[in-house]
Structure 1
């Protein structure tokens, strides 16, 4: 039986828990349904991707490439692919990555950067085709949905690759001219790379151009007998001498003088549009807080018992606006103290407790107390905490709805408009990240990578919602606990956003830092948007006065109260528990005699140590039981003329049949 007691509350604040839960669920869905985790993990840790598996439906007889390198560092490419379909297929899919990580050596030093290239002007001769941008790749799907073919078929694909200049004192050219994730061996291939268009006033040392055959992630000079390279005056021709195996590629690379490609566009980030949008959203959250900020006017009074006879469940709901496990456990202890049930500790190594009904609950008790009591004893007058009725969750749900129903109208705790504005502001506070990330992604990668945008946005929003829930507990948590809880979630928000920006090529430090700062500032204003009603102010002041008394009362004062009411310790105990002051309250009775209560039974010694142990084990068992109730992947590359360490170069990609 599954039960989440935090979802059994009325009012607006449960929406925060719902938002957090939905965000986390959708985040898991994104991770499962897309390749976002593979891409992020690959960018962060350079983790090797799984090798491609052979497509048994076709063979690749030839894969020829004719490439013209332009003065603007573009490459006009024509691919001629001759395949033999062994089984009926519609056609082929060609995938070309537009982003990746480059790791290389220059002057003996290891360097790492990220590249982006644009793919445009895609055309396929004499075949139907469709082009889409997907997860950082250009995907060309060739063939007719309604027609399957067998035997030999030749495909001709043309497209332009736009590479970018780099921020170094040299220029680089590196490109994988054969796809390392092609799903069959390539029996024959001829690759011709012509530099005539790229040369104006400068000359190119064709002899200095390296051509390498190898696997992604390694270059093995022993495999050079797989290719034959012919260098002309301004061109390089590469031919396979043996079939190219799976997960292999052919890379052309060279290092060139700075500004060799005079007209090459620079890959640079302009984060300011995204930052400006994020700043506007942050200021909007600040404005909402200023307009709907709390007007508490709360006066803390001295109270030695629960004001107006409030039950623990009522007190817990008023003090933090939620109905949760602590409130329910305190209420059960309260019902026991009133004589409706007994609590018996069972013997044994794994001792637990059972609840024994002693009488029917009075009609004068509140609806939520009746619902809770009836739910406990659905199957008889005795129930073990290990065997709560399966229907108990429904009764707990009804109790939560009943406690919320009591706090409407004059007894409502918060202005409905302020509560809704708070939820709106919480959602808005995740938008600065999304604005900055989307702008940075579009500027640097030519596209917005929506899976990562969604994942980062959802995780950020979920954590902000949890921050709000944490803030709502400030009256029943210590300041240290409150600050630690908020701090952990703020650190996690920063980590999520750093990992997201890590994916973007040439990411700007100012973009990432601004995104994190604006998100945290906006969220801290958003979670503090509250406007308690006069009733909430009055009752909260009295409850906090009662809490202060439990925490700070002198022993002599307590002795006088015990003399007046020998059961005073037990009447206060449920409230001390929901206030998080159980140990402090018990400790005050080290020198005060506690009269044995009628609602506790079992072979136990009743002393101060027992009560401390009892509350610890009882609440642990109760909380334990209630909580139990409750893809085409981018290939990446290195740079020409350098010592490649773990990547090969731009281009490459993969493909197969469909």
Structure 2
């Protein structure tokens, strides 16, 4: 005969099918019990029947039989019960205008013993998951993200954990009507829950009433819940305890166009990823076919590159504008002119001799244009500014015709493709981060432009690496970090990582221009070799060269400054007293290398300001 305590779990007064489809049974008092609990009671009843009526136990007293049953039940409970209880679990959900949801769960667990490890489950396909104050290993089981925590001291007593993660793909649309399916409780918890509450903050006010479904209770869970709605905020509190491995889902029917943007969870990510990959493949393919050059042969050399002047080095190293001021310093070191600074800080250029056919034709034209009016040229004059600008363009065209093959591609094409990749990636990230706005499409368009601009900054930093322009390098680094942070916040980290990496790689691959000719590759190798020498040369070696040529520092400084190594080159001379410079005149001019360099930098800054204004 089956005991009464087992017959309690037969179907009762509640709605038929509401819990049976989830493996639950209904009792006479209307409470729902999990299927595994019913099976345990059935097992206990059968075990008691076996002990009570089996012939083996005929000689055993009823009290001993009872204690034997109690021992077996304790053994069963020890193997199946959880080692703790969740005393409080709170879920706070912030739903964005595109249907994604930022979830924050705060759980307090009361451990009955000491646990060396702990599993904290999150939602299905959770992204950007983190746990405050702990270093956890993230795993995935049955599509659910799990945090595995370990503590050498063990988890004991009452401990509180706070986890955050993001869910997407929660919105479905049928016949123009949108429905939000939001999981509030993951069914992977191994502990029973004494108290559960939640808040759901929607992007706009809602008019409909949500429905709730539980893994054990089905839709009857609403009978044990106190829920309220305050504008766009939904509040809920369960009046009953929950079993382990319980789940809770909220379904909210909404009107058309409640969510905007890419709320389907898969379409936007895949489309953006497809475009980013397409642009990356096109950029790398274009480089491989039209821009790729043989690897440069670089060996350290102590002599400046053949036929390249200091003004040419920025263009040769990084495609930057040739530096006309470095050309003036080089001419001055050769004796063609001198640079004078009066006590008021006015910079003047004084011609000492004419330039003939001992220099290349372009130099002669520029020198003649600079001193076309008189033997003295004011560094702050319009004439100097116009001459410097025309010289920069002429020098760039001069080397552009000699460094590259005729069939070389244009580096701007590859750079534009990399910028498009970043623009699409940032557009995808912004679509997940932006709330509902009246002009959301305009903001997204601006984000696309911003992504392309950030890519250009990253490319420029990689291109100008050799020139040591600190502001440019800092801006590029900040843009790269910002791209990765935005990707992490929006759940599009792989796309943003691809965009940032492609931008940096594009800068490196197009740093020296397009497909180089044999002579261009040889000259560029000499430039890099001379730069390598200036970076690695020892102070003792420089002092030895200074003894042979007292003007060595002044002759070499324009080359070092053009490659961004002027300060480093001057520091290597230390406190050595130098001979007076033959081509630079200024009152109270220091005799040390660093002092002279600081004065020259101030003069060059004035000349650059004259050119730019």
Residue 530 of structure 2 corresponds to 546
Equivalent residues in 2 for 1:82-121 (5 A)?
A: 112-115=94-97
From 303, 320, 331, give the equivalent of 2:327.
331
Aligned to 2:312: 314
Aligned equivalent of 1:353:
347
Are 1:601 and 2:585 counterparts?
yes
SS at match of 1:474: helix
2:517 pairs with 512, 533, 548, which one? 533
User: Residues 427 and 448 of structure 2 are in contact (CA less than 8 Å); yes or no, is this contact kept in structure 1?
Assistant: no
Q: Secondary structure at the match of 1:165?
A: strand
TM superposition shift of 1:113 = 3.1
Give yes or no for contact 2:427–2:447 (8 Å, CA) kept in 1. no
Q: Tell me, what secondary structure is at the counterpart of 1:322?
A: coil
Deviation per CA, 1:239-264, whole angstroms, max 9, x where unpaired? xxxxxxxxxxxx79987997675687
SS of the equivalent of 2:349 reads strand
SS in 2 for 1:343: strand
Q: What CA distance in whole angstroms lies between the structure 1 residues aligned with 2:432 and 2:339?
A: 61
Of the three residues 460, 470, 489, the one matched with 2:451 is: 460
CA-CA distance at 1:420 after TM superposition: 4.9
For the pair 1:426 / 2:415, whether they are aligned, the reply is no
Deviation at 1:482, TM superposition (A): 9.0
**TM-superposed deviation, 1:362:** 3.9
| Cα offset, 1:514, TM superposition | 3.0
2:462 to 447, 471, 487: 471
| 2:611 maps to 1:622 | no
1:313, distance to aligned residue in structure 2 (A): 1.6
- Measured after TM superposition, the shift of residue 574 of structure 1 is 0.8
2:494 corresponding residue in structure 1: 514
The 8 Å contact of residues 332 and 338 in structure 2, kept in 1 or not, is answered as yes
Mapped partners of 1:548, 1:254: distance in 2: 66
Q: Deviations over 1:358-380 (max 9, x none)?
A: 34444654455456546655775
1:570 alignment partner in structure 2: 554
Deviates more, 1:375-384 or 1:462-471: 375-384
Tell me how many residue pairs correspond in the alignment: 405
Q: Which has the higher contact order (CA 8 A, sep 6+)?
A: 1
Match of 2:482 in 1: 492
Q: Which residue of 2 is the match for residue 505 of structure 1?
A: none
- Secondary structure of 2:459's counterpart equals helix
- Alpha-carbon separation, structure 2, partners of 1:174 and 1:476: 49
CA distance in 1, matches of 2:402, 2:349: 36
Paired with 1:456 and 1:172, the residues of 2 have a C-alpha distance of 26
Quote the offset at 1:333 in angstroms: 0.9
Q: 2:386 aligns with which of 394, 399, 418?
A: 394
Contact 2:337/2:351 (8 A) holds in 1 = yes
Gaps in structure 2 of 5+ consecutive residues? 1-88, 100-174, 185-197, 210-218, 238-248
Cα 1:285/1:162, change in 2 over 3 Å = same
TM-score by length of 1: 0.50
Per-residue deviation, 1:537? 1.7
- Tell me the secondary structure at the aligned position of residue 305 of structure 1: coil
Aligned to 2:395, what secondary structure does the other structure show? Answer: helix
CA distance in 2, matches of 1:260, 1:519: 37
Q: For the residues of structure 2 that align with 1:210 and 1:545, how far apart are their CA atoms?
A: 72
Residue 182 of structure 2 is aligned with which of 163, 167, 179? 167
C-alpha deviation, 1:622, in angstroms: 3.2
Question: In the alignment, is the contact (CA less than 8 A) between 2:318 and 2:463 conserved in 1?
Answer: yes
Taking only aligned residues, the RMSD between alpha carbons, in angstroms, comes to: 4.9
* Alpha carbons 1:371, 1:396 under 8 Å: kept: no
Which of 252, 265, 271 is the matching residue for 1:273? 271
Q: Distance in 2 between matches of 1:209 and 1:573?
A: 76
Q: Deviations over 1:369-398 (max 9, x none)?
A: 45654665577544554xx22354432232
Compared CA separation, residues 379 and 453, structure 1 to 2 (3 A): farther
- Give the Å deviation of 1:399: 1.0
Match of 2:297 among 296, 299, 303: 299
Unaligned stretches of 5+ in structure 1? 1-106, 118-159, 178-192, 196-200, 212-250, 503-508, 630-658
